[in-house]
Amino acid sequence: MSEKTDLELIDSVFDGDKACFGELCSRYYAAMVAIAHSILKDRHLAEDAAQETFARACFRLSELRDKMKFGVWLAAICRNASLDILRTQSHFSESEPAEPAVIENTGVEEEEKVLRNVLNGLPAKLREVVYLKYYDGLTYQKISTVLGISEQAINGRIRRAKKVIVRELKRKGLTGSSYER
């Protein structure tokens, strides 16, 4: 039996099939975690935000105007959920959102740290698309369903992002021939 399309799953959800909602969540989880991670800069908080996104989606499903844009709609909820968490973190958290730990300050890890900082300094739209591209093997097609833009446009954004990253790395002294394009 062939796998249901997203649209068929959404129709099934509206027909009362809650398991199909679970399947939709599975399909969009990585993308939501990637979007949330690009905002929160913390993997665990990002997973929380993605799960929160699905909960909010349950409560707001009737607000979904265009089933074809389910991914875009979900991504918008995810950004809001992440920003809510970010606001709360900055108001109340005992500690700042954790950066992934650097084990030893070897050259490679230092390089990664600089790259992470550069990445975090990217404009939100570019940072988001970069996270989506490098997260858990997301396809351009999937990225397109959550950003609501064409695959060519995604490619263009990624290219722009990389250009900025290389420029910033150079500014920080990591000219690294290895990064130059």
Partner 1 sequence: MKDNKLDEKLANVINSGKVNFDFEKWQQKYPEALKALGSNIKIRNKKQPLENFNLWKIIIKNPITKLAAFAVIIIVLLVWIHYFGGSIDVSAKVWADTVQRAQKARTCAYTETLHYEGVPDIPDMKAEVICKEQGYKRTSAGNMVSILNASKRKAIVINHSKKEYTEIDFSSQELDKPSKYDFFERMRTLPERADEVLGEKEINGRNTIGYRIIEKGMNITFWLDTESRDLALSELRFIKAPGIYAVISDFRFDIEADDSLFSLEPPEGYTSRNIDVDRTEAGEKDLVEFLKLWAAQVSNGVFPPSLNLTELTKASIEMKKAGTTIKADTEDEKMRYLLKMTRGLTFILQLKPESDWHYSGKDVKLGESEKVIFRYKPEDSPGWRVIYGDLSIKDVNEKDFPK
Residues in contact with partner 1 by CB under 8 A are 13-16, 18-19, 21-22, 25-26, 29-30, 33-34, 37, 43, 47-48, 51-52, 54-56, 58-63, 81, 84-85, 87-89, 91-93, 100, 111-112, 115-116, 119, 130-131, 134-136, 162, 165-166, 177-181
Nearer to partner 1, 89 or 160 (CB): 89
The residue type at 95: S
Q: How far is the CB of 40 from partner 1 (least distance, A)?
A: 11
Q: How far is the CB of 8 from partner 1 (least distance, A)?
A: 16
Nearer to partner 1, 130 or 154 (CB): 130
Nearer to partner 1, 25 or 144 (CB): 25
Nearer to partner 1, 109 or 153 (CB): 109
Q: CA separation (Å) from 142 to 106, 135, 151? A: 36, 11, 9
The residue type at 18: K
Q: Count CA within 13 A, CB hemisphere, residue 55.
A: 8
